[in-house]
Chain A
Amino acid sequence: MTAAIPVLAIGLLDVMWIAIGLFVLFGALSFVVLSLTWLERKTLGRLQRRLGPTRTGPMGIIQPLADGLKLILKEDIVPSSSERAIFWSAPVLVIVPAFMIWVTIPASHDAVLRNLDLGLLYIVAFAVVGILGLVLAGWGSANKYGTLGGLRAAAQLISYEIPVIMVVISVAMLAGSLNMREIVAAQSAYPYALIQPLGLVIFFIAGLAEVGRTPFDIYFAESEIVGGPFVEYSGAHWSVFFLAEYINTFAIAALTVLLFLGGWSGPFLSENWVIVWFLLKVYAVILVIFWIRGTFPRLRIDQLMAFAWKVMVPLSFFTILITAIYKFYEWPAWSLTLMSAAGLLAVGYAIYRRMVGPAHRVAQVRARQKALREARLASTQSPGGTTNVV
C-alpha cells in the first residue's frame, strides 16, 4: 500500500512516519464509517417517523460496533462455482482505492497525510480503480445477478466519471492549482458554490452516482438484482464493501466541501480548530445525501445513462466553457455566477416541464371520469351495468 505513494527517495524514519500516518488515517476513517452507519440509521429513522436503533447503548450509539462484530463473526460463504482468486481479491480492490483517496484529502491546513501538488488528479485517478473491484466481484461470484450488477456498475461509474472530471477541471481553472490546500485557500474570499453553482450541482449529483447512493443505487438495487456484485458475499468480506461505500460517500461529501463550499474556512474559530468547520460542513452534506435516500425512488439503468450523456456531460462541458470565458476576459466574479445560474435554471425548467406533463394527464383523467360518471347516471335504469370501452 505504501509503495503507491510517490515518495520513494526517503529514509527509514520517513517510512515509519508514513506507516503511523496510515494507521491513524485508517483508524479515523473506521471511526467515520461507524459514525456514518449510526447517523444514517438514525436520520432515516427520523425521516420515517421511527426511532432507529435504541437498544445498544444510549440512543443506540454502539449499534455500529454490534453490527461490525456480528459481521466479523459470521461465516464467510464461498460459492463453489466462484473464481476463488477473483472472488477474494475483489473486496481488496474496492477498499484500497477508497482508502488511498484519503491520503491527499485535507481536513484542515495540517491534517493531511501528503499534500500532493497534483492532488485532484490523484483523487480522480484512484476513484476509477474501485470500479474494477466491483466488476470482478460480480464476475468472480459466478452469479447472474452479480454479473449484471458488475456490468451496471462499470457502465454507471465510468459514465459519471466524465462530468466529475470536467467539473473538477473547471474548479482547477478557477483556483489555478490541483493542490487541495491551494484550492481551499483560493476560496478564502467566497466559496466557489457562489460563482459556480452549476458546478456544485453537477459534482454533487455525479458524486452520488459515483458512490451508488439513492437515486443511483442501481448496481446493487435490492429489489431488482438483490445486491448486485455483493450478492454472494457474506460476513467480513461483505462488510469490506460497505466500509468502502461509506468511505467513498464521506470522500464525495468532503470533496464537495473542499471544492465548492470553502473547505475548512469559516468564522469564529482559531486556526487550530478549523477542522471543526470542515467536519460540520461535511456532515451537513452527508445529511443531505441521507435525506435524498429517504425521499427518492431509484432510476432505471437506461434513464441513468441517458441522464449522464445527455444532461450531465454537456452541462459539465458548459461549466468549463463559461469558466474559460470568465478567466480569459477577466470579467468580474458575478458574471460567472450569472452564467452558471442561467445553466442551472435552464435544466431546472426542463425538468419542471417534464413534471407538468402528467399533471395535464390528471386533468384529462378527471374530465373523462366525470363524463363516464354522467353517462352511467343517465343509463342507470339498465341493471347489470354496462362497460364503457374507450
Chain B
Amino acid sequence: MADASSETIRSGEPIEMLLNMGPQHPSTHGVFRMVLWVDGEKIVDLEPHIGYLHRGSEKLCEGEQYHQVITLFDRMDYISNFNNELVYCQAVEKLMGLTVPERAEYVRVILCELNRIISHLLYVAAIGLDAGAMTPSLICFRARERVQTVFEAVSGARMMHNYFRVGGLKEDLPENFEDMIGELLPLLRDDVEESDKLLTFNEIFLARMKDVGTISADDALDYGLTGPCLRACGIDYDVRKAEPYSVYDRFDFDIPIGLDGDCWDRHYVRMQEMYESLRIIEQALAQMPSGPVTSSLGRRLIRPPRGDVYVRAENPRGEIGVYLVSDGTDKPYRVKVRPPSFCNLSALKHMVKGAWLADAVVILGSLDIVLGEVDR
C-alpha cells in the first residue's frame, strides 16, 4: 500500500496513483523502495528510497584493525565477496608498498573471476524471475552452489569468505583444488550456456528487454555508470584493461560491449562476461606458479605508514574504489568506498520515467544492485 505521507517530490503531471514498491516487494532485490507515481500502467515519476540496510560499514571500519576490516568488506557487496576483499587488500598493500607473492595473485584472480561468474549468475536468476521465467533461476542457483562448494573448500565459508589477507592469502589452496576446479569448470560452462540459451534470445524476453530502460553513452558517463551498465552503452571501459591491477595484464580476454544501452544489452554484456571470466580462469590455472602465498609480513599486526591511498578495481557490478587514510596506528583513520551499485542506481530514475510499470522491475533488475553495497 502506498504511503500517503511521502510527499517529498512532486512532478508537474497530474498524479493518478501513488504506488509503493518495496521495501517488502519480491523484485526490489533486497530492501530497496521505489515510490512510483503511475498514470494507469505508465510511470510518471519515481522516487527511490535507500538506506534500509545501512549498517554504517565505513564508520565501523575505523574501529577495527586492518585485518578485521576485511570481514566488513565481505558484507558490503555480499554477492561478490572475493572482489571486495581484493580491492581492500590492494589498498592496504599499496599504502604499505607490499608486493604480493605471484601464486597469491593468481589464486586471487581465479577466485575473483569465479565470484564474478556466480554474481552474474545471480543476476540472470533475478532477471529471469523479474521477467517471469522461473527455470533460469534454478539453473543458476545450481551452478552457484557448485562454485560455492569450491569456495567452501578453499576458504571455509560459502559466502563471507575472509580469505584474502594484506600481502597474500590466509593459507594455500587445498591439495585437491586442481581436481575440484577441473571438475567444476566444464559443468559451470554448461550451466552458463544453458541459462544463456534459455533466456537471451527468447522472443518474449527480447520483447521485454529490448529498447527498455535505454540510456545514452553520454548520459551514462554523466551519471557515473560503470561496469556492465556502462559497457552496454558501447564504451569499452573496464578497470582490468584500463588500469590493470593484480596480474590481469597477463591474460587474453575481451571486454564485451553492447550498442544501445538498453536492458537487453546489459544482459548480453553480462552473459558474455561470464564466458570471458571462464577464459581468464583457464589461463590463470595454466600459468599458476607454486610458491608462498603470504608475504614476509606473516600474521603480524600491521601499522601502515601515515598517508592516504585510492585504489580501484573492477567488481561484477562495476568499478569499486576504496579511499583509505592511515594515521599510522593499527586501525584505519578513514575508509571510504565508491560502490558501483550506488552509482548505477542513481540512473534508475532517468531510465524508468515514462516506462511501463512492468518495465520498472526489469530495469531495476538489469542494473543488478546489491543493497548491502548501496547502503553500506
Contact = CB atoms under 8 A, between A and B. Distances in A.
B207 interface: yes
A143 B237 CA distance: 45
Interface string B238-264: 010111000000000011111110001
20 contacts: A144-B20, A152-B41, A221-B358, A294-B135, A297-B128, A297-B131, A298-B131, A354-B203, A355-B203, A358-B264, A361-B260, A368-B257, A369-B254, A369-B257, A373-B236, A376-B241, A385-B242, A385-B243, A388-B237, A389-B217
Contact of B208 (A299, A355, A365): A299
A354 B201 CA distance: 11
B68 interface: no
A14 interface: no
Given A50-B138, A223-B132, A365-B257, A297 B41 contact: no
Given A152-B41, A358-B264, 19 more contacts: A48-B135, A48-B138, A214-B132, A223-B27, A223-B131, A223-B361, A294-B134, A300-B207, A301-B358, A302-B41, A354-B203, A355-B206, A361-B260, A365-B259, A368-B234, A385-B242, A387-B221, A389-B218, A390-B235
B242 A384 contact: yes
Contact of B132 (A215, A351, A365, A383): A215
Contacts, number: 146
A297 B132 contact: yes
B236 to A, nearest CB: 4
Given A368-B234, A389-B218, A384 B135 contact: no
A299 B207 contact: yes
Interface residues of B, number: 58
A56 interface: no
Dominant secondary structure at the A interface = helix
Contact of A144 (B17, B204, B233): B17
Contact of A300 (B202, B264, B359): B359
Interface of B: 1-2, 17, 19-20, 25-27, 41, 128-135, 138-139, 142, 198-199, 201-208, 210, 217-218, 221, 233-237, 239, 241-243, 254-260, 264-265, 268, 356-359, 361
Contacts of A226: 25-26
Nearest to B19: A144
B17 A364 contact: no
Nearest to B261: A390
Contact of A143 (B1, B198, B255): B1
Nearest to A354: B203
